C-alpha cells in the first residue's frame, strides 16, 4: 500500500524481471486512491509521473499492466481519502484507513454523491490520459471489489456510474480496454452492480474467488470453485469474456503453524506451500477448460514482517502470506506450477448445460441459487 509514496524504480524493475521470468505476461496493480487524488479536484502529478514510469518498466520487462482505480478495498481494509469520508456507508467487517490511521467515519457513496463521482471522473480521465497509447497498458480496472466499500442504492445509479467512468477513460484514450473487479459476493448477493451491468459498459468481465471464503465450497482447497465462478459470471454477463483476475491461497512453510488471523470473524487457516502449488495448477487447468481469456494470481509476494504491525496485517494474519514469492524473494512451489502453464492456448467456452434456470430466477435468491448450482455443476460436470 505504501509503494507509491516510497517509490523505488529499481525495486519495481527487480520485481517485474522476476515476474516476467516466471512466465507471466501481465501485472494487475493498484492506484491507492488517497495517493493519486489527495484532494477531490486534483490528481497528483507526481503520482501520475510515477505511474508512467511503472508502465515504462513493465514494457522493458515484456509485461503489460492493468491499473486498478479507486483502491479502495484491499486486503481486508478500505483505504479511503479523507475528503471521501463523512457519509453513512460502512461495511462493519472492514476497517477504514485514511492518512495511515484507522478511523470510525462512514463513507460517502460514490454512486449517488455527485461530489465523489465528479472527483472519480477527474482521476479516471487524468490517469487514462497519462497512459494513453502506452504499449504496456493492457486494460483499466474500475475498482477492486468496490461493493466492499459502498454499493449503488439502485441499479440505475450503478449503471450511470459505470457509463460515466468508462466515458471518461475512453475520452482520454479511445483504444483503452476497461473492466471492473467483481468478486464472489457480487454473485452471492444482488448488489445492483453485477456481471450484467458491467458487461454493458466494459470490454470484459473480471471475477475474484476463494474457496476459503465460501462455506458452501468443498473445503478451503476446493479447486473446482474458481472455474465454476468463471462460468457463472460469463452466463450472467450474456457470454462476455471473463478474465479470472484474482485467486490464490495464504500459505505457511512445512512445520509452521496454520492458524489464521485474530479479527472479529473466524480467519481461514493457512495452507502448506506444496498443497497451494497443487491447488494453483488445478485451478489454472480448470480456468482454461472454462474458456477464460486468462488468469491472475493473488498475489506477487508476501508482506514483509516489518509491515505486520499495521492494518490490515495486524489482525488479518492470513493476508500476510498470499504471495507467490516469500518476503525474502525466494519462490514458493506454486511459481513452478505457473511457469508450466504459461502460454497455453485459450479454449472455447464449453456449454453450461447444468444451468437449469434463467437469470431472473437466479437473482431472486442468488445466495441460495449459487450453492445449488455449484452442487449441480459438481454432479454433472465434475472436471
Residue-wise pLDDT for 170-184, tens only, equals 999 999 999 999 999
Sheet holding 26-32, edge to edge: 26-32, 64-71, 140-144, 178-183, 205-208, 242-247, 294-297
At 256 the pLDDT is 67
Model confidence at 343, pLDDT cuts 50, 70, 90, reads confident
What digits encode the pLDDT tens for the residues 239-297? 999 999 999 999 998 666 555 544 445 568 899 999 999 999 999 999 999 999 999 99
Q: For 260, phi and psi rounded to 5 degrees? A: -95, -140
Q: What percent of the chain has pLDDT over 70?
A: 96
Q: What is the mean pLDDT of residues 16-31?
A: 97
At 268 the pLDDT is 84
Q: How far apart are CA 71 and CA 34, in angstroms?
A: 9
Nearest alpha carbon to residue 136 among 235, 66, 236: 66
Whether residue 302 is predicted with pLDDT greater than 90 in this model: the reply is: yes
At 381 the pLDDT is 63
Q: What is the mean pLDDT of residues 316-329?
A: 96
What digits encode the pLDDT tens for the residues 75-97? 999 999 999 999 999 999 999 99
Contact yes or no for 106/95 (Cβ under 8 A): no
Whether residue 342 is predicted with pLDDT greater than 80 in this model: the reply is: yes
Looking at every residue in the chain, the average pLDDT score rounds to 95
Q: Where are the chain's structural domains?
A: 9-380
What digits encode the pLDDT tens for the residues 128-144? 999 999 999 999 999 99
What digits encode the pLDDT tens for the residues 281-300? 999 999 999 999 999 999 99
Contact yes or no for 283/277 (Cβ under 8 A): no
Nearest alpha carbon to residue 344 among 301, 281, 278, 299: 281
At 264 the pLDDT is 45
Judged by phi (left if over 0) then psi (alpha if -120 to 50, else beta), residue 54 lies in alpha
Question: pTM higher than 0.75 for the full model?
Answer: yes
Q: The C-alpha cell of 133 is what? A: 497509447
Whether residue 207 is predicted with pLDDT greater than 70 in this model: the reply is: yes
Whether residue 67 is predicted with pLDDT greater than 80 in this model: the reply is: yes
Q: Which CATH superfamily is domain 9-380 in?
A: Glycosidases (3.20.20.80)
At 263 the pLDDT is 47
Whether residue 99 is predicted with pLDDT greater than 70 in this model: the reply is: yes
What digits encode the pLDDT tens for the residues 346-383? 999 999 999 999 999 999 999 999 999 999 999 986 45
Quick one: the chain helix, strand, coil %, rounded to 5? 40, 20, 40
Nearest alpha carbon to residue 4 among 35, 45, 43: 35
Whether residue 36 is predicted with pLDDT greater than 70 in this model: the reply is: yes
Q: Give me Rg for the CA atoms of the chain.
A: 20
At 94 the pLDDT is 97
Amino acid at each position: 500500500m505504501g509503494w507509491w509514496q516510497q517509490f523505488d524504480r529499481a525495486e519495481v524493475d527487480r520485481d517485474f524481471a522476476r515476474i516476467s521470468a516466471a512466465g507471466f505476461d501481465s501485472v494487475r496493480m493498484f492506484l491507492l486512491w488517497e495517493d493519486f487524488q489527495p484532494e477531490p479536484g486534483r490528481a497528483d502529478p507526481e503520482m501520475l509521473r510515477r505511474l508512467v514510469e511503472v508502465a515504462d518498466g513493465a514494457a522493458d520487462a515484456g509485461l503489460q499492466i492493468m491499473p486498478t482505480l479507486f483502491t479502495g478495498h484491499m486486503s481486508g481494509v478500505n483505504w479511503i481519502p479523507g475528503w471521501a469520508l463523512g457519509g453513512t456507508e460502512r461495511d462493519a467487517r472492514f476497517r477504514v484507513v485514511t492518512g495511515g490511521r484507522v478511523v470510525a467515519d462512514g463513507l460517502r457513496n460514490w454512486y449517488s454523491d455527485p461530489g465523489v463521482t465528479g472527483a472519480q471522473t477527474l482521476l479516471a480521465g487524468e490517469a487514462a490520459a497519462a497512459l494513453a497509447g502506452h504499449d504496456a497498458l493492457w486494460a483499466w480496472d474500475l475498482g477492486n471489489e468496490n461493493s466492499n466499500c459502498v454499493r449503488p442504492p439502485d441499479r440505475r445509479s450503478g449503471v450511470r456510474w459505470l457509463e460515466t467512468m468508462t466515458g471518461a477513460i475512453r475520452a482520454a484514450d479511445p483504444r483503452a480496454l476497461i473492466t471492473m473487479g467483481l468478486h464472489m459476493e457480487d454473485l452471492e448477493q444482488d448488489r445492483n452492480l453485477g456481471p450484467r451491468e458491467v458487461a454493458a459498459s466494459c470490454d470484459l468481465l473480471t471475477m475474484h474467488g476463494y474457496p476459503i471464503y465460501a462455506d458452501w465450497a468443498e473445503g478451503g482447497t476446493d479447486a473446482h470453485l474458481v472455474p465454476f465462478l468463471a462460468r457463472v459470471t460469463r452466463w450472467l454477463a450474456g457470454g462476455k469474456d471473463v478474465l479470472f483476475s484474482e485467486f490464490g491461497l495464504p500459505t505457511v512453510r512445512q512445520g509452521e503453524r496454520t492458524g489464521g488471523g485474530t479479527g472479529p470473524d473466524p480467519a481461514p487457516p493457512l495452507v502448506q506451500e506444496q498443497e497451494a502449488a497443487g491447488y494453483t495448477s488445478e485451478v489454472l487447468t480448470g480456468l482454461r477448460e472454462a474458456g477464460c481469456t486468462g488468469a491472475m494470481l493473488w498475489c506477487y509476494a508476501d508482506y514483509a514482517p516489518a509491515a505486520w504491525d499495521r492494518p490490515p496485517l495486524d489482525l488479518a494474519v492470513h493476508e500476510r502470506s498470499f504471495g507467490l514469492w516469500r518476503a525474502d524473494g525466494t519462490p514458493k512451489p506454486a511459481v513452478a506450477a505457473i511457469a508450466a502453464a504459461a502460454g497455453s492456448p485459450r479454449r472455447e467456452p464449453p456449454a453450461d448445460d447444468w444451468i437449469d434456470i434463467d437469470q431472473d430466477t437466479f437473482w431472486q435468491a442468488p445466495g441460495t441459487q449459487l450453492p445449488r448450482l455449484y452442487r449441480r455443476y459438481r454432479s454433472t460436470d465434475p472436471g
